[in-house]
């Protein structure tokens, strides 16, 4: 099980925290607004009222031990910049920060953000792409308890071929495609002899609970 923190519980932060929690992760949700914290409480492991620009208070949460922190504060740019700086100084390895514009994104990168999120821009690109270059995966009707996901291979998968892993029998999931990053290649319905590399992205289809079991492997 992975552990994440979400700082800032506006629409984006709230839904990010809720989705991570429902996917079987531990989630610490943080905001200065008590009503937002109360709203997320049923959808998080721990919901905390705290001003994350208070460096000493932030340190007490032990966020350096998380698998990632999402910084999704409001329109005051200095707030997210300070928080990212403090998280970087604390040793948080993965900091995903929501940017208001390109200049904001550049500053966030310089103070420690490892990944920049542009919610509106990213959604616009996704919608535009689905219209101009429709992907058949977007149109497969799935039952509520099934997922079609892209995941990095757990350590124990690396160096083994698909026949050895026998994922259909062990986990009841199907690898329908593999994205190779080194060198770049997309392999649809990979053969049983395909050997998994740590740089590969596995595209899996299966029940949500079975997918979560694989995501939980180290």
**What CATH number should be reported for the domain holding residue 159?**
3.30.70.1450
pTM: 0.65
Instruction: Report the pLDDT value the prediction gives residue 72, as an integer from 0 to 100.
Output: 95
**Dihedral Cα 180, 185, 191, 194, nearest 10 deg:** -40
Burial class (CB in 10 A: 0-12, 13-18, 19+), 23: middle
Residues 8 and 104 in one domain: yes
Residues 104 and 153 in one domain: no
Please state, rounded to an integer, the average pLDDT across all residues of the chain: 89
Whether residue 57 lies inside any domain: the answer is yes
Nearest CA among 213, 218, 179 for reference residue 199:
179
Strand order across the 46-49 sheet: 46-49, 26-31, 3-7, 68-71, 95-98, 115-117
Statement: residue 121 has pLDDT above 70: yes
Residues 107 and 7 in one domain: yes
Residues 116 and 148 in one domain: no
133 pLDDT band, cuts 50/70/90, is low
**Looking at the 3D structure of the chain, how many domains does it have?**
2
Residues 116 and 156 in one domain: no
Residues 105 and 21 in one domain: yes
Statement: residue 21 has pLDDT above 70: yes
Residues 208 and 110 in one domain: no
Q: Could you tell me the residue range of the domain that residue 19 belongs to?
A: 3-123
Statement: residue 188 has pLDDT above 60: yes
């Amino acid at each position: 099980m992975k552990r994440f923190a979400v700082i800032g519980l506006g629409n984006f932060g709230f839904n990010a925290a809720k989705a991570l929690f429902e996917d079987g992760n531990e989630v610490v949700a943080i905001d200065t607004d008590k009503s937002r914290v109360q709203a997320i409480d049923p959808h998080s492991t721990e919901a905390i009222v705290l001003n994350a620009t208070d460096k000493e208070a932030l340190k007490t949460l032990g966020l350096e031990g998380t698998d990632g922190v999402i910084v999704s504060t409001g329109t005051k740019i200095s707030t997210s910049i300070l928080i990212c700086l403090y998280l970087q100084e604390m040793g948080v390895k993965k900091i995903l920060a929501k940017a208001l514009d390109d200049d904001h994104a550049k500053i966030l990168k310089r103070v420690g953000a490892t990944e920049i999120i542009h919610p509106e821009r990213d959604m616009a690109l996704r919608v535009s792409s689905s219209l101009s270059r429709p992907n058949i995966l977007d149109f497969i009707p799935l039952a509520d308890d099934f997922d079609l996901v892209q995941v990095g291979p757990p350590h124990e998968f690396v160096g083994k071929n698909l026949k050895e892993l026998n994922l259909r029998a062990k986990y009841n999931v199907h690898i329908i495609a593999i994205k190779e990053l080194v060198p770049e290649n997309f392999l649809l319905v990979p053969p049983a002899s395909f050997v998994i590399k740590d740089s590969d992205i596995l595209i899996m289809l299966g029940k949500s609970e079975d997918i979560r079991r694989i995501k939980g492997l180290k």
